[in-house]
Structure 1
Amino acid sequence: MPFCRTSTDNIAQDAKLAEMLVAHSPAMQNVVKLIWQVAQYPSTTVLLQGESGTGKDVVARAIHELSSRATYQFVDINCAAIPDTLLETELFGVEAGAFTDAKVSREGYLLRADGGTLFLDEIGSMPLVLQAKLLRFLETRSFRRVGSTKEIHVDLRVISATNVDLQSAVAHRTFRDDLFYRLKVITIYLPPLRERPEDIVPLVEHFLQLHSNGSEEPLQISDDALELLQQYHWPGNVRELRSVIQRGQILCDENIIRPKDLPESVRLAGRNVGQRLDELKEQLHLPPEGLDLRAFLSSIEQKFIHEALEACNGNQVRAAALLGISRDQLRYRLPPRKRDQ
């Protein structure tokens, strides 16, 4: 059942969400709308999709904090950070004597999250055997500790997140289709920072305040440094921006971040593509012994294609746009085994 918000709740919760999530762009305003809608249905499973560093963990916590489950625990587990052999016991718990090292019974993340929210980050890394057990739990809301026959029932919401294309993983049989459809009752896509430039300045202001540490002289940034931040493409998204501001705080003088305090990759963004390519061409010289021009140009082409696909998380349409060619032209240049991925 959904919970009802009073006018007092509206004001307090709007303020809480504004503190947690910077959302000035239309794309992020849509995300905020979905957060509000999902929060009112505390049993609905949610799938968060987006590149690494876009703030999926922040959105998951916001959904929890704005729901009726906020008084209970928000428990997060990174499925990619725990070895496959340990993930099952971490998730479901273990009964004493289940195996040699299991001296005492131990609760898992599911029981710890009872009443609250379980956040499964990097869900695409979960092994297939464990996916089947997670699906059973989602269907029954009950589970057994490893080595036990006793059913334990819990009431919680499951939010999962991934930075890979689960639809493609299903097609390649590395992710169960039944689990995929069970997780994606509601899907929220978090756009990369380069697709929402309106959020860069508000995010910078937020991180400046965060890293001021309550000092009498607040952390600031110069106009030319801010302009460089706006021109950069942010492959690491919001997480990278926060790190850049933190670095600037350490290196800057008089509490003002200037271009010299920014990483070289950000400073180089201030020069246009033509200037950077001209510099690159100046560094190339024909070796005295000559070269295989066709092989050399092919290797450069493959390097740029690989980097474009990596930057776009394997999305061929976006990678082709980044390279200024059509998707068909990109696929023609790919090795046969990669064309249909």
Structure 2
Amino acid sequence: MKTRLLPLAVVLLPFMAWSAENGPLSAWNASPAKSQILNWVAQSTQQDGPDFIPPDQRYVVFDNDGTLWPEAPLTFQLQFAVDEVNRLAPSHPEWQDNPVVIAAQKHDMAALEKAGQQGLMTLLTLTHSNMPVEEFDQRVDAWLASHRHPRFGCPYNKLGYLPMRQLLDYLRDKGFKTWIISGGGIDFMRRVAGEMYGIPPEQVVGSFSLTEFRLTDDGTQLEKTMKGAFYNDEAQKPVSIHLFMGHRPVAAFGNSDGDVPMLQYTSANKQVKPLGVLIHHTDAQREYAYDAHPSASGKLINGLSLAPHYGWVVVNMKSDWNQVFDPAQCSYHPAK
């Protein structure tokens, strides 16, 4: 019997290797992290298994900056705000003495960082408010079409991490509903989430401020303001999940200490066996390497120390991913 099976094994082994390399998560290397994620999905969707999760409970949440796309040297939305200030400044002489505008014009990131939350709010007020929502959408679209990442040289909306995009598709194929829960602006992210990640706008939750409804001569209009600003980070993430989603997630993916409350909230789900995953930026050659000292945002100290206690999977970008970006969308080749 063994003699008969040997030729079959010889035939199947190359096929099995091909399947692993070209399967739904082909941009992931064979590693404990990948195995843990795949095993969790398999157990959660096994109808008669002890860890089966009913389809109506399969809500999975993802941070965006640093989890689905890069956040260095600046978060993409902050870079958009800086570029918009520089584009608009010549038409606004009243801005010329504003220290935040001056710092943006000089690309003085140290001064912008020193300006802190108040400086960020100034940038957002100048570039994200006092306009109809349709105008803001047009500005974002124009920026995406005309600007490239300073390091990778690719359009910002082509820089979604290929392993994570594959994971999103895989989870949806298995009956999970994928949401973005991020500190990024809700309107900004909604302009890219559908095309980049296959996530519709109603499943994108981010920082926001209130809009104002107005009647116009040709219909109605929603005007963006900075009133009632809600910054969707850290402890606010579980709050926004409850407010917008109405379900406790069964899995959560993040990359920074700002995502820890969201992972803790998910890990406390007593109805299922939950999954928590942290993306650790360890690849200075193909992307960036940081945890305690990020260039802009994404500090990861507390999350790494808590991961063993909660059983969170820590994905090592350098060793767990064989691709970072989709070569069909971004042909960035790191120097060797």
The TM-score, its normalising length taken from structure 2, stands at 0.24
Greater Rg over alpha carbons, structure: 1
Q: Which has the higher contact order (CA 8 A, sep 6+)?
A: 2
What TM-score results when the alignment is normalised by the length of structure 1? 0.24
